[in-house]
Amino acid sequence: MTGRLLEASDITVRFGGLVAVNAVDFRVDKGEIVGLIGPNGAGKTTFFNVVSGFCRPHAGSVSFRGVDIVGLKPHLISRMGLTRTFQIVKPFPDMSVLENVMIGAFSVHPAAKDARLAAMKALELVEFADWAHRRAGELPVAGRKRLEVAKVMACEPDLILLDEVMAGLTPAEHNEMIETVRAIRASGVTVIIIEHVMPVIMSLCDRIYVLHHGELICEGPPGKVARDPGVVRAYLGEEFAL
Amino acid sequence: MRLIAAALFLVFLLLLPAFAYSDIVARVMPRGLSGASLLNVFLLIFLFGYLAQCWNILGGFAGQLSLGHAAFFGIGAYTSTLLFTIFGLSPWIGMILGMSLAGLFGLFVGFVSFHYRLVGPFFTLATIAFAELVRLSALHLKFTGGSMGVLIPLQGDSVWQFQFSGKAPYYYISLFMLVAVTALIWRIARSRLGYYLHAIRQDEDAAEAIGVNTRKYKLIAATLSAALTGAGGTFYAQYTQYIVPDDILTVGLSVEIILRAIIGGSGTVLGPVVGSFLLTPIAEATRVLFSGAGSGAAVVQLFASDATLAKKLSGYFSFLVGGGGGGGALMLYGLILIFTCLVMPSGAVPWFERRARR
């Protein structure tokens, strides 16, 4: 089944005098993997904060599956099927990996026994089941990123927002994570991904949005975005413009 | 193994009142202490263990450090006591009403604090402020008896009036309360509520992002914790038959409750119980031995049979405690607390668990 899943229009967020996100339009259809890229400070994470309910926009609307979600608490948005990861990973350090993931699974399975089973399934999906009984606080970076994805997947979402899940990983680990994201899409979940690692973005995404200084400067399939003069200028500077 | 040990210990506690007054105990006990004071110490262990366990729900599991639990305790005590003295209502019913009132007040404190996003030390300050509000109200209102407090008129042995002439019934009631609240927390720790509270304690944003209604679960913890603490207040009022604001509504009492939870290991199922078994006897011993003039002599008499040596040592003691006031008790108590915090910063239960794993 295809159709519009997320529609954000005219989103504007200001921090004092700084316009972090300026009149951004953004849409995602069911089954897509959509990239959101841009130089540091472009407003990508702020945009995620708006969509996931952590930050209220000064203007604009966000509708998820046709329902207006601006002003809803993050936990409600998550329970509707839209869940995010954090760029600066947020494990519950004193819990085991499995218990971390159970917190997400409890959204769907109130009984601890069922939540434990569902959490194990989410860990298997991101190929992290071997680590289930390790303490989350002692995981290496790659593990923390995987845990972040598993927690989100345990909520059994329709749309996930991945905020730089590749950052700090080695190229070998990139490939594993790409496979994981593909597996997630294959399981019927739509993905929006913020990423700085270009090969990852180019090989994964169906469409890409490019933000620069809070403004949307380009949108389209990877081939088009990579050749766009505005995008090259934003990343490399004026003298490299095609 | 662990279960058998726990069961044996429980049997020992259940049988204790039966032989507390026997000759053997009288011979083993230090001079000046009777079987009744032995029961009293255990009863206080149970009561403080119970209160620390109630605090544990909000302060330990949910990580919201309340320093105002004396208010919930006092509300429980005053509600049942005033309903008894004014309307003659059974304290058992008063206990339930006191729990409801304390729970509502907990909900109110939580709602206001969380609504204005008071986190960490600011939440703690707010709980102190609310507790002081309750203390000052009890101190200055007419119907609460002001600074004189309320005396519960004696009615003789009566289960319905929650009055007993001996210590044993109170002993069993407090033991039951401790076991029941610990069983409840054991259940909570294994349920969604327990997992959610632990998640909230560690990272509220992360919990919220994956579907946890953090505000709601913090309010549940605050209400439950306050209501159960209120029941402890009713019990204390019935045991001592006399309540005064400066005894039961002070920040000092809140601190005593928290110390047991933290020393034992807050956020664990058994921590507050262990903490109370460790701290309450020490607190009682230092208080009894150092209280009043000539306190030093009392200590020395326990250990020294030689009269001249005793005199000499008691001189040292009175020098240390400045004439034999209560200061010595607090000094010794404080030293023990500092030492425990240095050795076991996360509490006794996590400390022992780490040892056992090695």
Angle of helix B2-19 relative to helix B35-55, nearest 10 degrees, comes to: 140
The whole-angstrom separation of Cα A36 and Cα B257 is 51
pLDDT, average across residues A204-232: 91
- Residue whose pair of structure tokens reads 């046709």 in the numeric block: A66
Out of B190, B199, B213, the one facing A92 most closely (by C-beta) is: B199
Instruction: Give the separation between CA B72 and CA B244, rounded to whole angstroms.
Output: 14
A8 band by pLDDT with thresholds 50, 70 and 90? very high
Q: How confident is the model at residue A14 (pLDDT cuts 50, 70, 90)?
A: very high
A103–B208: do the CB atoms touch at under 8 Å? no
pLDDT value, residue A152: 96
Q: What is the pLDDT of residue B314?
A: 56
Q: Which residue in the block uniquely carries the two structure tokens 């159970």?
A: A102
Please, what is the end-to-end C-alpha distance for chain A in angstroms? 40
For residue B196, the chain A residues in CB contact (below 8 A) are: 103, 106
3-state DSSP assignment of residue A33: strand
- Chain B (77-106) residues lying within 8 Å, Cβ to Cβ, of chain A: none
Three-state DSSP at A119 gives helix
Considering only CB atoms, B210 lies closest to which of A83, A93, A110, namely A83
A3 closest CA partner among A208, A190, A232: A190
Annotation: CATH topology of A4-92+140-240:
Rossmann fold (3.40.50)
Whether residue A242 is predicted with pLDDT greater than 60 in this model: the reply is no
**Residue A49 in contact with partner chain B when CB distance is under 8 A:** no
pLDDT of B1: 77
CB-CB contact of A61 with A70 (8 Å)? yes
Q: Which of B195, B205, B215 sits opposite A90 (nearest CB)?
A: B205
Q: For every one of its 358 residues, what pLDDT tens digit does chain B have, with 9 covering 90 and above?
A: 778 888 899 888 888 888 877 777 767 766 666 778 889 999 999 999 999 999 999 999 999 999 999 999 999 999 999 999 999 999 999 999 999 999 999 999 999 999 999 988 999 999 999 999 999 999 999 888 888 899 998 888 888 989 998 889 999 999 999 999 999 999 999 999 999 999 999 999 999 999 999 999 999 999 999 999 999 999 999 999 999 999 899 999 999 999 999 999 999 999 999 999 999 988 887 777 665 444 444 554 555 455 565 555 555 555 454 444 456 667 777 887 888 888 888 888 888 888 887 7
Residue A74 touches partner B, C-beta closer than 8 Å: yes
- What's the pLDDT at B332? 76
Say what the pLDDT of residue A2 is. Answer: 61
Burial class (CB in 10 A: 0-12, 13-18, 19+), B325: middle
Amino acid at B157: D
User: Among partner residues B192, B196, B206, which is closest to A90 by beta-carbon distance?
Assistant: B206
pLDDT of residue B327: 65
Structure-block tokens of residue A123 = 């860990």
Collect all residues of chain A within an 8 Å Cβ-Cβ radius of residue B209: 52, 54, 74-75, 78, 83-86, 90
Specify the residue for token string 């690692």. A197
- The CA distance from B70 to B250, in Å, is 6
Contact assignment for B198 to A91 by CB distance below 8 Å:
no
What 3-state DSSP class applies to A162? strand
The answer to whether the beta carbons of residues B262 and B66 sit under 8 Å apart is no
For residues A229 and B332, which has the higher predicted lDDT (pLDDT)? A229
The Cα-based distances of A132 to B184, B199, B238, B318 in angstroms read: 27, 17, 50, 59
Cα within 13 Å of Cα(B37), Cβ side: 13
Q: Percent of chain A having pLDDT more than 90?
A: 76
Query: What pLDDT does B29 receive?
Result: 67
pLDDT tens column, A17-45: 899 999 999 999 999 999 999 988 899 99
- Listed by number, the residues of chain A in 168-207 with a beta carbon closer than 8 Å to a beta carbon of chain B are none
CA B115, CA B111: separation in Å to the nearest integer?
6
Q: Under DSSP, is residue A183 helix (H, G, I), strand (E, B) or coil?
A: helix
CA A140, A143, A148: angle at the middle one, nearest 5?
A: 125
Alpha carbons A180 and B210: distance in angstroms, whole number: 19
Contact of B187 with chain A, judged by CB distance below 8 Å, is answered with no
ipTM, two decimals: 0.91
In this prediction, residue B157 carries a pLDDT of: 86
Chain A touched by B209 (CB under 8 Å): yes
HEC letters along chain B: CHHHHHHHHHHHHHHHHHHCCCHHHHHHCCCCCCHHHHHHHHHHHHHHHHHHHHHHHHHHHCCCCCCCHHHHHHHHHHHHHHHHHHHCCCHHHHHHHHHHHHHHHHHHHHHHHHHCCCCCHHHHHHHHHHHHHHHHHHHHCCCCCHHHCEECCCCCCECCCCECCCCHHHHHHHHHHHHHHHHHHHHHHCCHHHHHHHHHHHCHHHHHHCCCCHHHHHHHHHHHHHHHHHHHHHHHHHHHCEECHHHHCCHHHHHHHHHHHHHHCCCCCCHHHHHHHHHHHHHHHHHHHHCCCCHHHHHHHHHCCCHHHHHHHHHHHHHHCCCCCCHHHHHHHHHHHHHHHHHCCCCHHHHHHHHHHC
Which residue from A175, A168, A176 is spatially nearest to A196, judged by alpha carbons? A168
- A222 vs B297: which has the higher pLDDT: A222
The pLDDT, as a whole number, for residue B33 is 67
Is the model's pLDDT at A240 over the cut of 80?
no
Please write the tens of the pLDDT for every residue from A53-85: 999 999 999 999 999 999 999 999 999 999 999
Decide if B207 touches A, using CB distance below 8 A.
yes
B203 contacts in A (CB within 8 Å)? 90-92
Where in chain B are the domains? 37-249
A23 phi, psi to nearest 5 deg: 45, 55
Nearest CA in chain B to A80: B211
Contacts of B61 (CB under 8 A, 6+ apart): B185, B188, B189, B194, B197, B198, B201, B221, B267
Measure CB to CB from residue A155 to each of B190, B203, B211 and give the nearest one: B211
Query: What is the DSSP secondary structure assignment for residue A177, as one 8-state letter?
Result: H
Q: In this complex, is the C-beta atom of A110 within 8 Å of any C-beta atom belonging to chain B?
A: yes
Q: Does B268 touch chain A (CB under 8 A)?
A: no
Residue B324's pLDDT is 44
Determine the distance in angstroms separating the CA of B357 from the nearest CA of chain A, rounded to an integer: 14
Q: What is the pLDDT of residues A118-171, one digit of tens each?
A: 999 999 999 999 999 999 999 998 899 999 999 999 999 999 999 999 888 888
- Read off the pLDDT band of A241 (50, 70, 90): low
Residue of A nearest to B216 (CA): A75
d(CA B260, CA B272): 6
Q: Which tokens hold the place of B278?
A: 């460790």
- Contact across the interface for A155 and B207, Cβ inside 8 Å: no
B87 contacts B192 by C-beta, under 8 angstroms: no
Find where tokens 């026994």 sit: A113
Q: What is the pLDDT of residue B308?
A: 60
Rounded to a whole number of angstroms, the distance from the CA of B343 to the nearest CA of chain A is: 20
pTM of the model: 0.88
Asked if B255 reaches chain A (Cβ–Cβ under 8 Å), the answer is no
Is residue B158 within 8 angstroms of chain A, CB to CB?
Answer: no
